[in-house]
Chains A and B, each alone.
Chain A
Amino acid sequence: MKYLDEYRDPALARHLLDDLARTATRPWRIMEVCGGQTHTLVRQGIDELLPAGIRMIHGPGCPVCVTPLETLDRAMAVAARPQVVLASFGDMLRVPGTDTELLTLRARGADVRVVYTPMDAVRIARARPDREVVFLAVGFETTAPANAMAVLHAARLGLRNFSMLVSHVLVPPAMTALLDDQDCEVQAFLAAGHVCAVMGWREYEPITARYRVPVVVTGFEPLDLLEGILMAVRQLEEGRHEVQNQYARAVHRLGNAEAQNAVSRVFRVTDRAWRGIGTLPASGLELADAYAEFDATRRFALAATRSTEDPECIAGAILTGARSPTDCTAYGNRCTPLTPLGAPMVSAEGTCAAFFAAGRTREPS
């Protein structure tokens, strides 16, 4: 299939793997930031085909996984109210909150709907003026423009029954937080191509300069990833640390100005709690004052919740790449996609779920 098959060609993959084997003279640890990339790596088994010594560390870029428990608990508190329609992307429905998850709430009668775009939530609000429609707005810089456009559209339509529970997160602050950690083993990053399609890659230039780590903007197909890894290894071998763009077919240095404008009109940067990681300064987006009327937290006067996490789950260490899912004592027995203890076992982009779906088992110790 055009635009897909050419990035999945086994012969070219073999060629890149051979190139990689010739280039790498010693072990390197590279983090792919984005959950979509983790999904491709594990699904195609690419990480197991890499030359010995090249280790991929799976990063925190799964939006479902890092959405804080408090946000989920709040979403469930709103969804449980009468006259409310809670609209969300499908993956969020199975993520465990403190007491239950949205899927179970729906079975009990809450009006929880899966949508494919925030504009669907706006459409529902328009069609049902007798209902309060709340969209659970999560994700990285990739989904922020569409969510911003939905708010702008709702404002234009004068909708009074549409609001958002916003928990957007930003990639660069997470990367610097990882690099500031003394235990950080990451020597190079594959940056997420889709995030950079929106934001460009200027934001990563200070990171490569300050921390002396290579950053390669990389796509999501198997050959994209292999080429991105090869570019990162070349930089490491040659002692370079710069931003390189593997995903040139979609990404420019300055990104998409129109998308960035929509985001900066509707949202402002704020401190954000990342599930399993903690609060990172200036790492998220919230609605700007001009659009505060669309903030579900205000509209429903949502109080802070008493949210508690499972003590056995090591999601935090997995999201930062410090541990692997197969290191977890709960992996594959108490924690499965059917009974997830933590969010990384839920989303297809979650590292634990990707490992489980690919049938990876705990090493006998």
Chain B
Amino acid sequence: MKSHCPLPHTEGESLLLGHGAGGRLTGRLLDSLVLPALGAVPNGPLEDAALLPGDYELVLSTDPFVVSPLFFPGGDIGSLAVHGTVNDLAMRGALPLALSLAVIAEEGLPFGELRAVLQSAGKAARDASVPVLTGDTKVVERGAADRLFLTTTGVGRRIPGLTPSAGRARPQDVVLLSGPIGLHGTAVLSTREGLGFEAAIASDSCPLHRLVEALGPCGPAVHTLRDPTRGGLAAALNEIASASSVGVEVDEAAIPVPAPVAGACDLLGLDPLIVANEGCLVAFVAPEHADEALAALRSLPEGSDAVRIGRATEDPAARVVMRTLMGAGRVVDMPLGEQLPRIC
């Protein structure tokens, strides 16, 4: 038998879907193109939201939403657009003060769908006690967009005492997870592809700022908060490890994966660790405050399933290692760019 194999492919000259998937390709795009073009410093800690220069109480975040389909079990693009930005603000320890909402709609979109989406966004904003103060609407010709894209921008004010940052995790920190993983990605995928899991799985999309508010009494002991959206828990833990130069050890048996999600992932060959979530957060908390933080998360319905999944370690290589069910150690790498486009 002969041993040979294929030519290297050249670096592409145009964007791939994976560049927007929140994994390695996204990181490369940010570092090599986006940040230099905007005059920002590459390789710095990338946060979910930014502190406004000169005023470290105010936090700013923006996020475009392109999820397909527009409606899915557990939510729709309207509620998702509100939750997404409220949550990005919350991951910096902030409560939302105001949102803007920009609409890009495709010619031919039925008024009924636009109304349903915007009413849902309005309800989500009221439920989160945040006003939508400004916005804009553009309509593009048929084919120039897929039905409806929304962009929300949010301003928030930090809860006194909370200063979480992706770069503040420390060795020995306890890693908490506020709820089960994998629901949002599998719910959207199943609806879009007609895979038949829709009945059993609903998106976890929900606002997380009240959980963060509950962590307020722990103050600066809350080192890092992250909502594991695109790229899932694997991406969130790797981003924190790398921004904080710590290792992370998690226990596979402790990570809650709902049975229908596990079944769907098995069938589709997906790893629940890289499936997107929209209603849970990971918290890195100083060990002496871990029990208090866990109790705080569990005191609210959206955190009732909160668990301790691992801890941060001394590791200059910033590896995320999972103790598998079988008891072996496995490195959990940054996902490449998941195979599930347009999940949020």
- Measured CB to CB, the residues of A under 8 A from B are 1-2, 4, 8, 10, 13-14, 42-46, 48-49, 69, 90, 95-101, 103-104, 107-108, 114, 116, 177, 181, 222, 275-278, 308-311, 313-317, 320, 322, 334, 337-343, 348, 356-360
Contacts and interface: CB of A to CB of B under 8 A. Distances in A.
A56 to B, nearest CB: 13
Contact of A313 (B6, B28, B259): B6
A339 to B, nearest CB: 7
A278 B326 contact: no
A101 B13 CA distance: 13
Interface in B262-279: 262-263, 266, 268-269
B16 A107 contact: yes
Given A13-B325, A360-B331, 16 more contacts: A10-B327, A13-B326, A43-B324, A44-B324, A45-B328, A48-B328, A100-B10, A116-B195, A222-B326, A277-B1, A309-B4, A310-B5, A310-B6, A317-B3, A338-B28, A359-B332
B319 interface: yes
A274 to B, nearest CB: 9
A31 B90 CA distance: 50
Interface centre among A108, A308, A309 (most CB of B within 10 A): A309
A1 B4 contact: no
A362 to B, nearest CB: 14
A316 B336 contact: no
Contacts of B339: 90, 114
A13 B3 contact: no
B326 A359 contact: no
Nearest to B262: A1
Contacts of B7: 96, 98-99, 308-310, 341
Nearest to A322: B3
B2 interface: yes
Given A45-B324, A222-B326, A348 B269 contact: yes
B9 A1 contact: no
B254 interface: no
A316 B330 CA distance: 26
Contacts, number: 141
A-B pairs with lowest CB-CB distance, top 4: A359-B331, A45-B328, A316-B3, A313-B5
B14 interface: yes
B12 A107 contact: yes
A4 B257 CA distance: 12
Contacts of B333: 356-357, 359
B160 interface: no
A13 B252 CA distance: 15
Contacts of B195: 116
B4 A313 contact: yes
Interface string B306-323: 000000000000010100
B3 A10 contact: no
B269 A343 contact: no
Contacts of A277: 1-2
B327 A338 contact: no
A300 to B, nearest CB: 23
Nearest to A90: B339
B44 interface: no
B2 A101 contact: no
Contacts of B10: 100
B15 interface: yes
Given A13-B327, A49-B328, A97-B6, A4 B193 contact: no
B326 A49 contact: yes
Nearest to A344: B5
A357 B15 CA distance: 24
A98 to B, nearest CB: 6
B5 A44 contact: no
A354 B255 CA distance: 21
Contacts of A320: 1, 3
B269 to A, nearest CB: 6
